Structure 1
Amino acid sequence: MKLHLTHAFLIATLLLACSSKDPDTQEVPEIPKGGIKSSDAFPALKFNLPVELVQAPGDSSRFYLIEQEGTIRTFENARTVASSPVFLDIKNKVTSGGERGLLGLAFHPDYKTNGFFFVNYTSGNPLKTTIARYKANPATHQADPASETVLFTFNQPYSNHNGGSMQFGKDGFLYIATGDGGSGGDPQNNAQNLKSYLGKILRVDVNGTSKGNYGIPADNPFATNTEGNLPEIYAYGLRNPWRISFDMANTRLFAGDVGQNEREEIDIITKGGNYGWRLKEGVDCYNPASNCNAAGLIEPIHDYTQNNGDRSITGGYVYRGKAIPALAGKYIYGDYVSGRIWALEMNGDTKKENVLLMENQGSISSFGQDVNGEVYFLNYSDGKVMKLVNGN
């Protein structure tokens, strides 16, 4: 994910992305023109640098939206809604700009009764990521900024590739996506280092206390290891997973992993899985540039080249709504740079077809899904919340 880019940095990124390889065939025949459209879901609302949209468990009546600089706003789920009060303001704690900021939000499965929710943000000098719990009054939709309980922190060696997405699984555990620590090419090889939090999917028990303010699920891959590997690690070998999500119909965990200079990828995350970075970028060798040892590495279910102007994947959601039957069971995702949105259809855990739904949708910073399975996305550049709707 490439946020808040300067023109110079964007131009440099585009030049680096050039490849001599032929474009792949990610754009199969489109759904007929007008079949799927985007609609301004809340015409009276506009947000500052929006990066996440969620609903609390079991509550379809309102949304919560992260603004990158350190605020969470809440608003009613009504097209006519005219205001978005602040739910939480922690700008005094957050270091933002570029790919830094308040980046993730997840509500406790029992939020209605305990008021707990969790955030992921960058702060400090030296820079670090903080995973913290806050408490709110679910009845008044107001969080207490003084209620922070830090679960854990870890250092960020560079300002980019912070990941940030968090999701609760049906197992009740919190899954946390982390980037490789930044710069380019993972110079510290963090993603393959099992003693680093970086370049991983972490899984923790927010109701446990074995690690102080959280616990380690007993079946985590390194929960009982004696080699110093981090027990929080669930999967590894990721570059910058920008948005993870669970399929509402099952336990499949999807990740959109932003590429380096050539390929963007989508992964289905499994316990203990190694997704290859920095050995591989998508299906290609990266370091070493050829003859990389792919033994034990999990291939993406889909990847695409950057040759067509698609240079920063934004992971999405499996559509489980009722408004657009043609999208049922398809994984909806987009690209931040090109503004394209696709629907990925699968046979089980393998790719069947990838269909381009729409183009020119702005800087897609995040997708969102309501409790009824409908899918939304955020336009980072104009601050709008858009919804996928049936165009027929």
Structure 2
Amino acid sequence: MNYSYTIAKRICSFLLLLFVASCASENQDDPLKKPEDNRFTKVILSDDLNEPMELAVAPDGKVFFIERHGQFSKYDPNDGQTTLIHTFALLPEDPDEVYGNGLMGLTLDPNFQKNRFVYVYYTPDKLPARQSLSRFVLKENDELDLSSETVILEIPIEREVSAHTGGSLTWDKDGNLYLSTGDNTVPFASGGYAPIDEIEGRITFDAQRSSGNTNDLRGKVLRIHPEADGTYTIPKGNLFPEGTEGTRPEIYVMGTRNPYRISVDQETSILYWGEVGPDAGNDGDNGPRGYDEINQAKQAGNYGWPYFVGDSKPYPDYNFETKELGELFNAEKPINESVNNTGLRELPPAQKALIWYPYQQSAEFPLVGEGGRNAMAGPVYHFDENLESSVKFPKYYDKALFIYDWMRSWVFAVRLDEDYNFVSMERFMETNGDFRRPMDLEMGPDGAFYMLEYGSVYGIDNVDARLVRIEYNGGNRAPESYPTASDTVGIAPLTVKFSGENNYDPDSDDEHSYQWIFEGTEVQSTEASPLYTFEQHGVYQVRQIVTDAAGAESTGIIEIKVGNTLPEVNIQTNGNRSFFFDDKTLPYEVSVKDAEDEEIAEDRVHISFAYVPMVSRQENTPGHQMPVPVPLGESLIRESDCQACHQWTEESVGPNFVQIAQRYENQDVVDQLADKIIKGGSGNWGQHYMNGHPQVSENDAKEMVRYILSLAGQAELFDLPMKGSVALNKHQDQGKRGRYVLKASYTDGGGAIVPLTGTDALVLRSNMVEAEDADEVDRIGRTDKQLGSIHNGSWFMLKQIDLTGIKQISYFYSSLNIDATLEVRVGSPTGEVISTLDYKNTGDWSKFIKVSTPVKDPGGINDLYFVFKKDQEPNEHMFTLDWLTFDR
């Protein structure tokens, strides 16, 4: 052995590790350099939760969290296990409704290590209905001592409302406990504006009795100082001094609607909270549109609800009985004259929100985007130079306030000046956050963030509801293993070439070593791209272990199935494979070949046919290929927040799409339901209010409705025969921008291992193609109706076009004053020319004419490029195209 070489190699490795560590330290210590998104990692600690609500991290790293239905659990980092500690008995709910009450708030005492006090905010199984702030002792073995319950505070509620609970708990640096409470008011009758209904018998419709009432604990953020004996004292500086008639001294902040999640800066004791705002989509006679808010209280104050919203935009004093509009409320001197008010008539001045935003794009805070909204406030991060932690957030985020939105699934870091006023905000983990509706965000003792994610859909037990830790890695990052294979199925002996070409390392300069395990547990290759022959039939989990120079590694798995081959499924037709024509049928025949099946079992052949009314341009895939196109309405729904409250067939807070389709089957309700999507409303499916979507265009809303209504009849045929014909007549009353989709699949008998499924699809589009539906464009302007701003060298492309039987292409175009040439090329903008149109200008952009030109069929199915050419100037703004047709 060469000992000198070995020692030198070890010294080099040691120096490399020192260099990596120094780079990490340098990165963390630079407060001006924004860290890359891929230096943050979300680690799933516990998943498949059921409506998680709030979490608290103990000094020893244990994470305690609650779920709305009463579960109180812990995650132990020592063994990575989640354990249910206790299930609280809660006031029963109406099974037909989804309520906002339950186990809502959780926090640990600042001296938890000594006194083991745990505080919860919940709806106990007792009448009359109430919310209870209770303290328990958690034993050293993390068992909850039920006999230790001390009720600190009780807040009566009207059970029939059962919404707007608030329920968040937190502490300031002086050991004062904060509790947020909602207004406990029905929001539906006010149309999304101010709920100030004073009609007799409708007290639950009047937030003046709660949020606007100085003598009521609802619609507030309360601040108390718990004492060891279970009582509490009132800290100095609350909104009303003790003994003030018509007030409650516990009130720190009043005038809130539903402050769902709150936080307190541990250095300044400044309070922050997210305010879930009202639902009005647009400004109206009854007041401003709805806004969600991020609020900040440097001191006690009144934040305006139900008289003001956002930056103290005033509502008018509306009489719900006479329908008369009164004067606008005065933010400097709000007056509560409600018959339901038991407190002061003259209220403290209304304070403006720190950040406020509507459904639509915000002029003041455009980065927050648009759509549904549900604002929440997280912690203010303070970088600790002396904290030894490999996962703590960098100094860059020192003193940043972290806010988040449940509906929009984003997190922002907000910057404040020396007086704690708003300066700016920036998206956190924009490229790799993948937040699943964040519900609570807290900082742990390790300097990492802990988040509860509610999951995709409101009111159900989501499989993607989870507890995660967000870690920062300022040093070397592990590579990511994504092995590929030349073949994944076949018959033994099967020789496969493997590769790590798709591997990814965020530290791009790293060198890597490889280990491949094809069978068993022993490493069988250390090459980057090895060949391996599988001699025996079986299903193999091939593992690639990729390791960087610092020793960080990642394992990727790819499955190889040896002992069967994919069936060959083919749909044949004697017609064109790209286009449908009016009043025609599509004859077809499906053939199946399988090397392992001596006979094709027809009962395992499945053939379906459907008409998709209008497809998403982004997923437009005409021609003989997979995947099949997605309806535009479906695409719009998936891109919106609709799935937060509605599912296709599953239950949620709102009706599922199939139920909606069945209720309105064969009814002319497209305009009506589109209007409801835009404006919101309630009553048809219970008392849960559907948020408005004023940011959705009328056309898009109608497409969403058309798609939903199509789910009733489906217009889809299943299990067709292997030979036959289908009518192409569904497009005639739905326009010509849809697709017919004929799909066929066959699942074989499994060969020597497991069954495999082969598929084929035939997708037909109208022979009349709207120009704006082009699959790709280059140097061309696209509007909702046309292609324009076309210059010399501009082109647009249509994917996978079959020209069988097509004799000419016709164009409906206009051109102001330029004659030029339009060439159709195969495969690329420089491919074979199969059609040429030397067109003449039409004299006016508004004058469109139709011209036709022959086209040659190059055979097969091809991408067609439509290239505009004119070498001599002027050669810009030459052409506007409305539509084109492929004519037989």
Q: Is the pair's TM-score, using the shorter chain for normalization, greater than 0.5?
A: yes
| Cα shift readout 1:110-158 (whole Å, capped 9, x = no counterpart) | 2222222211012445432111111111x21221123211122122222
Q: Is the 8 A contact 1:70 1:94 kept in 2?
A: no
Give the distance between the partners of 1:315 and 1:98, measured in 2 at CA: 22
Give the number of the structure with larger relative contact order, counting CA–CA contacts within 8 Å between residues 6 or more apart: 1
Give the distance between the partners of 2:212 and 2:447, measured in 1 at CA: 34
Call closer, same or farther: CA 1:171–1:94 in 2, change over 3 Å: farther
Counterpart of 1:143? 144
Correspondences of 1:265-344 after superposition (within 5 Å): 265-283=293-311, 285-288=313-316, 291-295=328-332, 296-307=349-360, 308-321=370-383, 322-344=392-414
3-state SS of the aligned residue for 2:248? coil
Q: Is the 8 A contact 2:293 2:375 kept in 1?
A: yes
Give the distance between the partners of 1:311 and 1:286, measured in 2 at CA: 21
Call closer, same or farther: CA 1:227–1:156 in 2, change over 3 Å: same
Give the distance between the partners of 1:356 and 1:291, measured in 2 at CA: 36
> Bigger CA drift: 348-357 or 219-228?
219-228
Give the distance between the partners of 1:134 and 1:305, measured in 2 at CA: 40
Call closer, same or farther: CA 1:306–1:324 in 2, change over 3 Å: farther
Give the distance between the partners of 2:425 and 2:329, measured in 1 at CA: 28
Q: Is the 8 A contact 1:95 1:122 kept in 2?
A: no
The answer to whether residue 224 in structure 2 is matched with residue 204 in structure 1 is: yes
Q: Is the 8 A contact 1:320 1:374 kept in 2?
A: no
Give the distance between the partners of 1:241 and 1:179, measured in 2 at CA: 6
Counterpart of 2:465? 383
Call closer, same or farther: CA 1:270–1:33 in 2, change over 3 Å: closer
| Cα shift readout 1:295-348 (whole Å, capped 9, x = no counterpart) | 122111111222211411122111235433332221112111121221111113
Q: Is the 8 A contact 1:162 1:182 kept in 2?
A: no
Counterpart of 2:182? 179
Q: Is the 8 A contact 1:134 1:147 kept in 2?
A: yes
Counterpart of 1:192? 212
Give the distance between the partners of 1:390 and 1:339, measured in 2 at CA: 20
Call closer, same or farther: CA 1:230–1:376 in 2, change over 3 Å: same
**Amino acid across the alignment from 1:65:** F
Correspondences of 1:56-95 after superposition (within 5 Å): 56=58, 59-77=59-77, 81=80, 83-90=81-88, 92-95=89-92
The answer to whether residue 355 in structure 2 is matched with residue 355 in structure 1 is: no
Counterpart of 1:19? none
Q: Is the 8 A contact 1:242 1:257 kept in 2?
A: yes
Counterpart of 2:594? none
3-state SS of the aligned residue for 2:377? strand
**Amino acid across the alignment from 2:141:** T
> Bigger CA drift: 166-175 or 373-382?
373-382
Q: Write out the 4+ residue segments of structure 1 that deviate beyond 6 Å after TM superposition.
A: none
3-state SS of the aligned residue for 1:283? coil
**Amino acid across the alignment from 1:323:** F
Q: Is the 8 A contact 2:239 2:251 kept in 1?
A: yes
Deviation of 1:241 (Å): 0.6
Counterpart of 1:12? none
Counterpart of 1:217? 235
Call closer, same or farther: CA 1:115–1:33 in 2, change over 3 Å: closer
3-state SS of the aligned residue for 1:362? coil
**Amino acid across the alignment from 1:84:** T
Could you tell me the percent identity over the aligned residues?
27
The answer to whether residue 298 in structure 2 is matched with residue 227 in structure 1 is: no
Q: Is the 8 A contact 1:55 1:62 kept in 2?
A: yes
Give the distance between the partners of 1:213 and 1:94, measured in 2 at CA: 25
**Amino acid across the alignment from 1:283:** D
1:368 to 442, 445, 448: 442
2:129 to 127, 130, 135: 127
Correspondences of 1:35-46 after superposition (within 5 Å): 37=40, 39-42=42-45, 45-46=47-48
Give the distance between the partners of 2:75 and 2:471, measured in 1 at CA: 20
**Amino acid across the alignment from 1:174:** L
TM-score (norm: length of structure 1): 0.82
Give the distance between the partners of 2:244 and 2:182, measured in 1 at CA: 25
Call closer, same or farther: CA 1:208–1:298 in 2, change over 3 Å: farther
Give the distance between the partners of 1:204 and 1:179, measured in 2 at CA: 17
Q: Is the 8 A contact 1:324 1:389 kept in 2?
A: no
Deviation of 1:285 (Å): 2.5
Q: Is the 8 A contact 2:382 2:398 kept in 1?
A: yes
**Amino acid across the alignment from 1:93:** L
Call closer, same or farther: CA 1:219–1:304 in 2, change over 3 Å: closer
Q: Is the 8 A contact 2:64 2:74 kept in 1?
A: yes
Give the distance between the partners of 2:328 and 2:244, measured in 1 at CA: 32
Give the distance between the partners of 1:342 and 1:162, measured in 2 at CA: 25
Call closer, same or farther: CA 1:217–1:252 in 2, change over 3 Å: closer
Q: Which has the larger radius of gyration?
A: 2
Correspondences of 1:259-270 after superposition (within 5 Å): 259-261=277-279, 262-270=290-298
More helix by share: 2
Counterpart of 1:162? 165
Give the distance between the partners of 1:389 and 1:342, measured in 2 at CA: 16
3-state SS of the aligned residue for 2:423? strand
* RMSD (CA atoms): 2.5
Correspondences of 1:80-119 after superposition (within 5 Å): 81=80, 83-90=81-88, 92-95=89-92, 97-119=98-120
Call closer, same or farther: CA 1:332–1:206 in 2, change over 3 Å: same
The answer to whether residue 276 in structure 2 is matched with residue 258 in structure 1 is: yes
Give the distance between the partners of 2:174 and 2:35, measured in 1 at CA: 39
Q: Is the 8 A contact 1:65 1:73 kept in 2?
A: yes
**Amino acid across the alignment from 1:334:** Y
Q: Is the 8 A contact 1:241 1:258 kept in 2?
A: yes
Deviation of 1:386 (Å): 2.7
Give the distance between the partners of 2:311 and 2:422, measured in 1 at CA: 14
TM-score (norm: length of structure 2): 0.38
3-state SS of the aligned residue for 1:170? coil
Structure 2, gaps ≥5 residues long: 1-33, 188-193, 196-205, 280-289, 318-326, 333-348, 361-369, 384-391, 456-463, 474-505, 507-888
3-state SS of the aligned residue for 2:134? strand
Deviation of 1:230 (Å): 0.8
> Bigger CA drift: 276-285 or 354-363?
354-363
Give the distance between the partners of 2:92 and 2:133, measured in 1 at CA: 14
1:237 to 244, 255, 266: 255
Counterpart of 2:834? none
Give the distance between the partners of 2:237 and 2:453, measured in 1 at CA: 38
Structure 1, gaps ≥5 residues long: 1-30
Figure out how many residues of one structure are paired with residues of the other and give that number: 353
2:266 to 239, 248, 268: 248
Call closer, same or farther: CA 1:372–1:249 in 2, change over 3 Å: farther
**Amino acid across the alignment from 1:316:** G
Q: Is the 8 A contact 1:267 1:301 kept in 2?
A: yes
**Amino acid across the alignment from 2:311:** V
**Amino acid across the alignment from 2:292:** E
Counterpart of 2:637? none
Call closer, same or farther: CA 1:248–1:371 in 2, change over 3 Å: farther
Q: Is the 8 A contact 2:66 2:72 kept in 1?
A: yes
